[in-house]
């Protein structure tokens, strides 16, 4: 995927010492994205980068309001993050709340020298002062829409789609068949 190759090059350019890097993917789709970025960096630089998986469910600030029981995926970071440059990897940056939760979770694990953020899609609508350091694509959308990222590792296909909410549906007769949910489709780098 060309988008991830470009992000990998940007990471290499901005971090002159890549052997101090750790890529940490946020569950669920951030983990395979982090692995793909690490493979690209290894291909370009010949250095194997440590990749970890971070579960932020218990750090979310909306658990009590959603009345949900979080599904804990587990955190697996193979090396110490103390003094390292950690790049958090996620599929979609929206309000910034997940990223804030991820930073809280990282700080509980150690004291990194630097935390950066890489996202495949930045859709705007921030509620926290969070900005991605590496962005695959800026994709403006309505708050009533959902950005759906699918990856081969989790969904058997690589694609990104904007899904409209049911209350944004156009009025149609019963006999008309309309795919009103997908406003547009974005394939990202074949």
Provide the whole-model pTM. 0.84
Q: Which domain holds residue 71?
A: 2-140
Indicate whether 117 belongs to any domain: yes
* Domain annotation covers residue 27: yes
pLDDT digits (tens, 9 = 90+) for 168-190: 544 443 333 333 344 444 454 43
Contact call for residues 186 and 60 (beta carbons, < 8 A): no
Sheet with 159-164, strands from edge to edge, namely 145-150, 159-164, 182-186
CATH code at position 16: 3.40.50.2020
DSSP string, 133-163: SEEEEE----TTEEEEEE-HHHHSS-EEEEE
Residue 185, in any domain of the structure = no
Q: What is the pLDDT of residues 145-162, one digit of tens each?
A: 999 999 999 999 999 999
Query: Is 165 inside a domain boundary?
Result: no
In a domain, 33, yes or no: yes
Total domain count, the chain = 1
* Residue 178 vs residues 40, 133, 169, 173, 185: alpha-carbon distances, Å: 40, 39, 10, 10, 15
């Amino acid at each position: 995927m060309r988008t991830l190759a470009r992000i990998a090059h940007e990471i290499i350019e901005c971090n002159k010492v890549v052997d101090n890097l750790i890529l940490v993917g946020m569950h669920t789709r951030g983990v395979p994205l982090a692995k793909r970025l690490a493979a690209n960096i290894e291909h370009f630089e010949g250095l194997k980068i440590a990749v970890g998986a971070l579960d932020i469910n218990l750090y979310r600030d909306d658990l009590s309001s959603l009345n949900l029981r979080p599904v804990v995926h587990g955190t697996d970071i193979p090396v110490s993050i103390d003094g390292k440059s950690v790049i958090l990897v996620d599929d979609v940056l929206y309000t910034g709340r997940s990223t804030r939760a991820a930073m809280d979770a990282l700080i509980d694990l150690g004291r990194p020298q630097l935390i950066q953020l890489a996202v495949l899609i930045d859709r705007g609508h921030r509620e926290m002062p969070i900005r991605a350091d590496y962005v695959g694509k800026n994709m403006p959308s309505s708050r009533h829409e959902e950005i759906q990222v699918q990856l081969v590792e989790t969904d058997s296909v690589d694609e990104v789609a904007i899904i409209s909410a049911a209350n944004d549906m156009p009025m149609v007769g019963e006999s008309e068949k309309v795919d009103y949910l997908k406003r547009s489709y974005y394939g990202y780098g074949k």
